Amino acid sequence: MKRDIFSDEHELFREQFKRFAKNEIEPKIASWNEKGMSDRESWRRMGEEGFFGGDAPEEYGGAGGDFLYDAIVMEELSYIRAHALMASLHADICMPYITEFGTKAQKEAYLPGAIRGEIILGIAMTEPGTGSDLANVQTTAIRDGDSYVLNGSKTFISNGQIGDLFVVVAKTAPDSDPPHRGISLLLVEAKTPGFMRGRKLDKLGLRGQDTSELFFQDCRVPVSNLLGGHEGRGFKQLMQKLQQERLCIAVASIASCRRALDDTMDYVKQRRAFGQPIAGFQNTQFKLAELATEVEVGQAFTDKLLAAHVRHENIVTEVSMAKWWTTDLQKRLTSECLQLHGGYGFMLEYPISTDYADAAVQSIYAGTNEIMKRIIARNLGLDLT
């Protein structure tokens, strides 16, 4: 069924990107997964071809289009399992902080390089002791003259080893009451003295993604790198951008579901047992019919939210619904598809095994699914405490 949110120009862009991905991304995926990191040349090639910043301002090198172009890149990378190339984190989660909240000087300094794929971006929110509780981060940034002295640690940071510039969540006023009023966002270059990369973390899934610890020890960050130029606005900035981040998760999850389902349907048609293809058994047919229906339901809801997001509607409640529902579906679907592969599903030579492992984190990052349900309940007026 044709998805009516995309124009002919969008679909032409999709075909261009699919050709690029087939020729320049797919051949590298196995190597990235083995090394646990993508390569910088691929980032530069993505930038050269104009696949970063589809909705970024033209004056900084962006295409000046809409978010649907970025969604296409997310979908196609997820479908080919190119999880190592964190394009959505870079272009659709981190870059918008600079685009929307950055000063003119900050935009000029960082946006052109990020759009060209020369400055790789990351965001440092999570800390060892805070998880989803952003208001209680312990990293501090205390002003000293023309600098902030940054001290603290972060963990589970994507692009932690390869990244060049990080949006760091820190407290510029540690004693603020309530705590969230003391939070600011700083743009921290990886070359800054006192910035230290910790371990590249060994994960269950998403093996090609570079996920790391970061440490800041008397790291002196210029005051000019305070995002937006005003202290205490960090929590509000984070909340404004979490809508797009959670929509990105839903977009990628549905694309991953579709790939796992497509591969499983091909497998059951070829694999034989008891004298017939597995696809001939009623259990197989019913299970795949149910999963295919759920993928289409999830796609329809996600497409509706994409269209609303492009119209700049406030859909925090709905993207929270989409984030938990699509990621929960991804976990269930990959489990069922692995089961249909039988013993071969447990073998790493079959991609469904990595799909199953990769799905595990989807309900955890970008706000756990429990947090999503809490947001939904509050916005439905159910929080009467």
Q: Are 362 and 334 in contact (CB under 8 A)?
A: no
Distance CA 179, CA 183 (A): 7
Concerning whether 15 is annotated as a catalytic residue, the answer is no
Query: Of 76, 231, 245, 318, which residue is the catalytic one?
Result: 245
Going from the C-alpha of 106 to that of each of 63, 87, 136, 225, 259, the distances in angstroms are 19, 21, 27, 7, 39
In the block, which residue shows the tokens 């301002």?
Answer: 57
Q: How long is the chain?
A: 385
- CA pair distance 156, 214, nearest whole angstrom: 9
Cα distance between the two ends of the chain: 45
The angle at the Cα of 29, spanning 27 to 35, to the nearest 5 degrees, equals: 125
Gyration radius from the chain CA atoms: 21
The conformational region for residue 156 under phi > 0 = left, psi -120 to 50 = alpha, else beta, is left
User: What gap in Å lies between CA 125 and CA 93, rounded to an integer?
Assistant: 12
CA distances from 230 to 123, 168, 248, 255, 297 (A): 19, 15, 28, 38, 43
Strand 140-144, strand 183-189: pairing: unpaired
* Among the listed residues 208, 159, 163, 203, the one whose alpha carbon sits nearest the alpha carbon of residue 26: 208
CA distances from residue 94 to 40, 52, 88, 196, 356 in whole angstroms, order as listed: 18, 12, 9, 20, 27
CB environment 33-55: b (16+ within 10 A), e (fewer): beebbbeeebbeebbeebbbbbb
Query: Any idea which residue has 């210029």 for tokens?
Result: 222
Residue 256 to residue 247: CA distance in whole angstroms: 14
Residue numbers annotated as active site: 245
